[in-house]
Amino acid sequence: MSNPKGVAENMLWGGRFTEGIDPLMMQYNMSLPFDRVMWKQDIAGSIAFARANMNNGILTAHEFSEIERGFAAIAQEWSTNTFEAKENDEDIHTANERRLSEIIGKEIGGKLHTGRSRNEQVATDMRLWLRDELRILDSHLCDLIKVSVARAEKEIEIIMPGYTHLQKAQPVRWSHWMLSHATAFASELQRLREVIARVNRSPLGCGALAGNPFQIDRHAMAKELGFDDLLYNSMNTVGDRDFAMETMQWGSSFMLKISRWAEDLIIYSSLEFGFVRLSDAYSTGSSLMPQKKNADSLELLRGKSGRAFGQMAGLMCTIKGLPTTYNKDLQESIEPLLDHIKTVSDSIQIATGVLSTLTTIPEKMSAALAPEMLATEIADYLVRQGVPFREGHHISGRVVALAENTGIPMDKLSMEQLKAVDARFGDDVQTCLDYERAVELKDAVGGTSKRAVLEQTAVLKKLL
């Protein structure tokens, strides 16, 4: 008797089903449109599994050789974009196995899946794909940090206002600002490498949930596929998506930091500040106002951080109520993960492009420096005269108030005016009112002196 249209023919689970599948359900269930990107990983995992089954006697050497030959042909089709998907190819695993049987015959092709479940197979494919993608992200992130370090060393002479509460606070080097973000990115690089280590563990050989009955050598398969370790509980392994969730948590943390970096540069590139000018390659204009140059690249970086956060939260909501081991809900981990990786990868590369091509405008930064930013220098001067800091802070505040009340910039106040505030001011107090001196005095580790800045670049270079 022929099967009705839409029946589960050729599907890995189809033997138990005799009725047709609703066409919408077929589409709803299908993941091949997005998990096809893992074709290379699926083939590698299948070959490793087949080799292990040859070594334990399930397959003969000839059968394994035929499976290898078939997969070489399939890999060629995928790489040349000539692979033809069929109606019942619901996912990359089904598609590859169906095509294998077409090439080498069902008698041998049908033995490939012996002892293996798609539950372990999809987890293996995802981990292999993700490991490779995260290593690419590592490279991109290193590039962003390298650009930050290179510019910091090249533009170390530039001094700008440092801000707290978006109010002018103390003078700093432009390099120090760049390295403040590069240091945050370096922390994310370290976290990324920790994530990669946890991703790179093998699920292969765990079966559907209870393990493998043919004494398969899981260590040998893991070594062949480049995994660092095994996952040791089969039930946990097939239902675990911590590796995807943690990747998205990492990606969200990074995007949060790149969003703050972008926000600073959006502000600094505005006409009101004018500290930097973005390259035309990373800007757009207005459809109405011809004078506009918009920092769209930076605004998109800021906006896409919300996209990343949403993907992370969505996956966590999907997972949170699932019963033990595999449930079909877990298919919802793949699509957001693919988009998350692309979003983060593109964002790092865009940020690197922005930073490597933007123009600094030192005279604008210098013009934005204000004498009241040196108020702490006056307090520190008094400390060196033996005045308790709290008292010195109060006296310095009175100097600032005097400048405001008289309309005279703090660095233009006369010695008579300063001594009227406090008689302990010496003639040398006016040497405090120098921006270069102020930044050079901050020479402790982590400060904004030239030596301290170059020490930071050395630390980052060592990490890279």
Buried b / exposed e over 322-349, threshold 16 CB at 10 Å, is eeebbeeebbbbbebbbebbebbbebbe
* CA gyration radius, the chain: 31
Q: Do 407 and 447 meet the contact criterion of CB atoms below 8 Å apart?
A: no
How far is residue 113's CA from residue 90's CA, in Å, rounded to a whole number? 16
123's CB contacts (< 8 A; 6+ apart) are: 203, 206, 237, 238, 240
Six-digit token string for 280: 């035309």
- Please tell me which residue in 79, 270, 279, 286 is annotated as part of the active site: 286
Is 286 assigned a catalytic role? yes
User: Which residue, chain included where needed, has tokens 């269930």?
Assistant: 29
Find tokens 């440092």 and name the residue: 162
22 CB neighbour count, 10 Å cutoff: 11
Taken as a whole, the chain contains a residue count of: 464
Number of H-type helices and E-type strands within the chain: 19, 6
CA 137 to chain CA centroid, nearest Å:
7
**Which strand (E) or helix (H) includes residue 167?**
strand 167-173
The answer to whether residues 221 and 108 touch, using CB atoms and an 8 Å cutoff, is: no
Catalytic residue among 165, 305, 340, 414: 165
Residues near 163 by beta carbon (within 8 Å), at least 6 away in sequence: 169
Q: Which residue from 105, 108, 103, 77 is spatially nearest to 92, judged by alpha carbons?
A: 77
Contact 188, 257 (CB under 8 A): yes
Per the CB < 8 A criterion, the answer to whether 144 and 231 are in contact is no
CA pair distance 19, 403, nearest whole angstrom? 88
Instruction: Assess whether 165 carries a catalytic annotation.
Output: yes
91 three-class SS: coil
Give bridge partners of residue 359 from the DSSP assignment. Answer: 277
Catalytic positions: 165, 286
